Amino acid sequence: MKTAKLVYGGEEYDLPVFTGSENESAIDISKLREQTGAVAYDPGYGNVGSCRSAITFIDGDKGILRYRGYPIEQLARKACFSEVCHLLIHNHLPDEEEFGLWRRELTLNSFIHEDMLKFFEGFPTKSHPMAILAAMIASLSAYHPEEERGQTIEKNIIRLLAKVKTFAAFSYKKSVGEPFVYPLTRYSYAQNFLRMMFATPAEEYEPPKVLADALNMLLIIHADHEQNCSTSTVRMVGSSRANLFASVSAGVSALWGSLHGGANQAVIEMLERIIDDGGDCKAFVAKVKEKKSRARLMGFGHRVYKNYDPRARLLKKANDDVHRKLGIKDPLLDVALELEEIALNDEYFIERNLYPNVDFYSGILYRAMGIPTDMFTVMFAMGRMPGWIAHWKEQRDTPNSRIHRPRQIYTGTTERKFIPISKRPKSKKG
Ligand code: SDX
């Protein structure tokens, strides 16, 4: 057993070191407080492994991303989203028979209990669809309670994967005041979603292959990303043995933040602002570099990738294909390409290893599909669903997995005596 030596308080401690299947090393500090009385400190957990996981591997320096060993470039170009869901959750690509059953289950379970339709009436028309999605997913626990004794977990996994696209499409239909459209077994996951979004009683909508293929790829590249903020949230909530729906609903809320999945919406708003201000990309980049402006180049930078995010590379190419095939000229794409060109040649971004991440180009592709900006983070959640489920299941299936309970360093007021209000001195204002 390899060890790392810690010298602290005049004592020496040998901390165990172990390596994963890709030769990543970890210093095991799970006994640190017991041995030394001190805790390790790492706000944002940038240097801490919260678990061992066999689902996704990322090498941020080399820009590598693999789901269960398969490189993202191969899956994005050759697989369909529902088989990638099966791969992430069940650790193998399904054979033809398994795939037929799996895909049929996903469509037949896309329907939501008719009583849940009433929930949509309660939301204001312009509700953000992430608020609706988080509420709807948590509410599934009321309709499909998890029985410890039964095998409901496998069934609830299918239900959640299947219904998320229905919640997403229905929240859009509610916002435009159109009737809900139901899925058909003859369509793929991506085709069904586009049809549920854009078909109306007056006019059928046959999803164009180029858009269904682009959506399929978008969902695949969002499907998992190891211990990101929202997946860690799902594991945190699931560690208390909360049910799947409650745990994933928490993940939806974590993803909503503009530093995480909300960034794809923030990128479009940033590009639109640049155009409204006259389209001067150089001036915007100069503002980003002035600390006091607090402006960020949204869609750039990443906690793990210190190289080009492989997903951004795939999305940049997909944007080029879709816009060319559909003959679309989107000024936002031109601005995004110019911003990238400027940033990749600017010392500020180079020395901080800031490259385009998955959110930089995804929104432009959603726009080409006709998906409104406030639906972009919901699209990210739809894609990330299998990843959240796979991590929740991996943790649930791990024997003796412990409830997550980090420690802290207290910096508040030390002990003081309670004074009854009649004797309390006037408090200092401000
Ligand atoms: C996702 O974790 C995942 O895997 C997430 C994700 C997934 O698939 O789940 O990949 C999806 O969330 C992608 C990230 C989407 N968010 C954004 O695009 C928002 C803009 N980016 C950032 O705010 C930032 O880069 C983060 C949040 C992504 C990462 O932040 P870190 O690792 O905490 O880095 P940091 O804030 O400490 O920044 C380090 C330096 C700072 O400058 P200095 O103080 O050293 O001078 O880089 C600067 C930051 O100011 N910086 C940026 C910047 N991002 C970091 N400066 C300008 N523009 C940016 N976008």
The answer to whether residue 234 sits within a structural domain is yes
Q: What is the domain-level CATH number for residue 79?
A: 1.10.580.10
pLDDT of residue 174: 93
The answer to whether residue 410 sits within a structural domain is no
**Together in a domain, 316 and 383:** yes
Out of 259, 348, 384, mutate this one to test ligand 1's pocket (max ligand atoms within 8 Å of CB): namely 259
DSSP state, residue 402? P
Phi, psi of 150 (to 5 degrees): -85, 180
**Together in a domain, 70 and 34:** no
pLDDT of residue 193: 96
The answer to whether residue 175 sits within a structural domain is yes
- CA 260, 249, 104: angle at the middle one, nearest 5? 105
| Residue 388 near residue 234, CB atoms below 8 Å | yes
The answer to whether residue 404 sits within a structural domain is no
DSSP H or E stretch at residue 14:
strand 11-19
**Together in a domain, 385 and 335:** yes
Give the structural domain span for 28: 2-41
pLDDT of residue 150: 58
CA of 30 to the centre of ligand 1 (A): 29
The answer to whether residue 123 sits within a structural domain is yes
**Together in a domain, 28 and 152:** no
| Low-confidence spans in the chain with pLDDT less than 50 | none
CA–CA dist 20, 368 (Å, integer): 41
Examine the residue annotation and report whether 359 is marked as an active-site residue of this protein.
yes
Question: Strand 56-59 and strand 11-19: pairing?
Answer: unpaired
The answer to whether residue 428 sits within a structural domain is no
| Residue 261 near residue 231, CB atoms below 8 Å | no
Which positions ≥6 away from 290 have C-beta within 8 Å?
none
The answer to whether residue 416 sits within a structural domain is no
Phi, psi of 206 (to 5 degrees): -95, 105
Examine the residue annotation and report whether 280 is marked as an active-site residue of this protein.
no
Domain count along the chain: 2
CA of 138 to the centre of ligand 1 (A): 29
Of all protein residues, the one whose alpha carbon is nearest to atom 3 of ligand 1 is: 228
| Residue 382 near residue 215, CB atoms below 8 Å | no
68: left (phi over 0), alpha (psi -120 to 50) or beta: left
**Together in a domain, 153 and 266:** yes
Atom of ligand 1 nearest to the CA of 360: 18
